[in-house]
Structure 1
Amino acid sequence: MSEKNGSHERRIVVGVDGSPSSVDALRWAVGQARLEDAVVEALNVWQPPVTNGWSVPITAYEDLPGIARTILDDSVAAVRGSGAPVEIRTRVLAGGAASCLLDAAGGAELLVVGSRGHGGFAGALLGSVSQHCVQHAPCPVVVVRHRND
């Protein structure tokens, strides 16, 4: 919980993985932040690949944190627009998506997630990360569904 001008700073945390529903979630969060005079904290989370319970070595050409940063920055650039300015803070974290989002949501006004990220199964109404966030978040959760889902 941070202070802004001696009062509680309002934060809206949003998970962004570059999927259409996560970009829509970011767009929704920015619009809501304008209404609430809040800061948007946009997060992208990466995790080393695993197979059958074993970590897979990352080769020198795979800059997973850099790829996550590029995806996040591109998503923010696509959403920034006209209207009242909203502060968007970006963070790239290593770990599990659900646990990182839930940790970041502590003290936030809202947690906003897309209905399905890149790992979603076709036809699924809610992905595993969004489902976990809905069930365990320390604040209200908004799930944004992409128009074509």
Structure 2
Amino acid sequence: MTKPVVVGVDGSASSLDAVGAASHEAAIRGAELRLVHAFGRSSSHLPAGGPPWNPAGSGVRELLDGTLAAAERRARAVAPQVGISRDVTVGEPLVVLEIASRTASLVVVGSRGLGAFSSLLLGSTSGHLAAHGRCPVLVVRGRPNRSGPVLLAVDDSPASEEAVRFAFTEASLRGADLAALHVCRTGSADVYDGPADPPFVTYDETHLHDERHLHEHAERVLDAALAGPRASHPDVPVVRKPVAGRVRHTLIDASADAQLLVVGARGRGGFRGLLLGSVSQAVLHHAQCPVAVVRHRGEGPAAAEGGEGDHP
């Protein structure tokens, strides 16, 4: 049985956009949609007279009914055939969604929200769900090009394998092309992204400014990463994009023509700090389409925390 698609709901416009995206994802997977609303003790959007830990309190039931009813209407408008369940839980949204991810095929969230959800992708919590979640996380933002490709950021580590497989599956389910992008930093000072963005590929000094060498290496990385999944998805047209430049800027610019950007949560080079440093902030805050983050399952939460710190 296909695991459900989980979406965080808080009544904001952003979360309704997430519900719409989650409904589509559930429909193409043949999965149930699970609407999750969490009451945290610090929830600032609750009405007066109802303690945050008591959903039956004064005014809270009306708020819940309105919030979840609006979410369900959006879901049915997008995918009327999808089964929908509601889950109202006491707890901090990040923790609740992390727990929900253990039995989900995908967790979907908006890029902005209300109350406790508003900090979901800001500052030190930006990588929390992706680093600790047990399934891919889809952050709905930007204006996706519905006819554009699924954009896959490829690195040369085994940790990116899950992201590659996820991207091929998404492209197949969506009937879209897959644009596989590998970025090589040239080593020039004017294209350095900062301490949190090391080069995707480390080169000998004699090759730092050799663009031909960079592209040849990028081609080899793409060959190795795409071979297996490409054979499993012969229906997916693949466009290879080996480029040299700046990691953040290249990903953000390329996202303008995509319907989805897929990145790995761990990896070597530029992706190692993707959800823990400045690249994470750039992609999650400035990508021009939704971003799917796929964590390497071989690394537990403790391992994921061992990387570079995430700064607001």
Distance, in Å, in 1 between the alignment partners of 2:170 and 2:259 is 11
Residue of structure 2 aligned with 1:114, choices 247, 256, 264: 264
Distance, in Å, in 2 between the alignment partners of 1:14 and 1:96 is 16
Q: Which stretch of the first structure deviates more once superposed, 19-28 or 124-133?
A: 124-133
SS at match of 1:111: strand
Match of 2:155 in 1: 17
SS at match of 2:224: helix
**Post-superposition offset of 1:107:** 2.7
Deviations 1:5-60 (A, max 9, x none): xxx63311010012233332121011011111011100001012358x99x99426
Match of 2:125 in 1: none
Provide TM-score, normalisation by structure 1.
0.78
**Post-superposition offset of 1:100:** 0.7
- Write the letter of the residue equivalent to 1:146: H
User: 1:18–1:78: structure 2 CA closer, same or farther, 3 Å change rule?
Assistant: farther
Distance, in Å, in 1 between the alignment partners of 2:231 and 2:271 is 31
Match of 1:59 in 2: 206
Distance, in Å, in 2 between the alignment partners of 1:121 and 1:43 is 13
Distance, in Å, in 2 between the alignment partners of 1:114 and 1:60 is 27
Matched, 1:69 2:219: yes
Choose 1 or 2 for highest CA Rg: 2
Unaligned 5+ residue runs, structure 2? 1-145, 193-202, 300-312
Match of 2:185 in 1: 47
Specify which structure has the higher proportion of helix.
Answer: 2
User: 1:71–1:125: structure 2 CA closer, same or farther, 3 Å change rule?
Assistant: closer
Residue of structure 2 aligned with 1:81, choices 231, 245, 248: 231
State the identity as a percent. 39
4+ long deviations beyond 4 Å? none
User: 1:131–1:114: structure 2 CA closer, same or farther, 3 Å change rule?
Assistant: farther
Deviations 1:54-75 (A, max 9, x none): 9x99426972221111011111
Unaligned 5+ residue runs, structure 1? 1-7
SS at match of 1:59: helix
- Write the letter of the residue equivalent to 1:140: P
Provide TM-score, normalisation by structure 2.
0.39
Q: Is 2:214–2:244's contact at 8 Å kept on the other side of the alignment?
A: no
Deviations 1:56-103 (A, max 9, x none): 994269722211110111111132233551011101111111211111
User: 1:41–1:148: structure 2 CA closer, same or farther, 3 Å change rule?
Assistant: same
- Write the letter of the residue equivalent to 1:32: E
Distance, in Å, in 2 between the alignment partners of 1:72 and 1:35 is 22
Match of 2:286 in 1: 136
Match of 2:15 in 1: none
**Post-superposition offset of 1:131:** 4.1
Matched, 1:126 2:264: no
Match of 1:33 in 2: 171
Deviations 1:87-137 (A, max 9, x none): 111011111112111111113110110012313798x78244344211210
- Write the letter of the residue equivalent to 2:287: A
Match of 2:244 in 1: 94
User: 1:127–1:19: structure 2 CA closer, same or farther, 3 Å change rule?
Assistant: farther
Q: Is 2:151–2:262's contact at 8 Å kept on the other side of the alignment?
A: yes
Q: How many pairs were matched up?
A: 139
- Write the letter of the residue equivalent to 1:36: R
- Write the letter of the residue equivalent to 2:152: V
